[in-house]
Amino acid sequence: MSTIRVTDDVKERLRDLKRDDESFNDLLDRLSRSEKDVEQIAESLSELGEENFGERTKEAHEELNESLERRRE
C-alpha cells in the first residue's frame, strides 16, 4: 500500500468524479485506464491526411467528450 499526497483542490475534484460506490483507489484505477480512449483517438488523427481533417477532428472531439461524459456518470 502506498500513500499519494494531493492538494485539497485536487482531492475535491477527485471527490466530485468519484462514484458513490467507489473508493479513491477504485476511482484512480478507473481514470488511469481511460488513457486508451485518448490514444485511440490520437492514432486515428495520425492516420489522417489533410483531406477532411476538420471534419475528422470534430468527430474525434465528440467521441472524447462522450467518453468523458460516460465516466462522469
Domain coverage including residue 4? 1-33
* Structure-block grid coordinates of residue 62: 465528440
- The whole-angstrom separation of Cα 71 and Cα 26 is 13
CB count within 10 Å of CB 27 equals 16
Query: Based on the domain organization, do 43 and 23 belong to the same domain?
Result: no
- How far, rounded to the nearest angstrom, does the alpha carbon of residue 24 sit from its chain's CA centroid? 16
pLDDT by position in tens, the chain (length 73): 889 999 999 999 999 999 999 999 998 888 877 656 666 766 666 666 556 667 777 888 888 888 888 887 7
Amino acid at 53: F
Record the pTM. Answer: 0.46
- pLDDT at position 11, please? 93
Cell 477527485 sits on residue = 14
Amino acid at 64: L
- pLDDT at position 47, please? 65
Query: Based on the domain organization, do 43 and 73 belong to the same domain?
Result: yes
Query: Based on the domain organization, do 40 and 70 belong to the same domain?
Result: yes
Query: Based on the domain organization, do 39 and 28 belong to the same domain?
Result: no
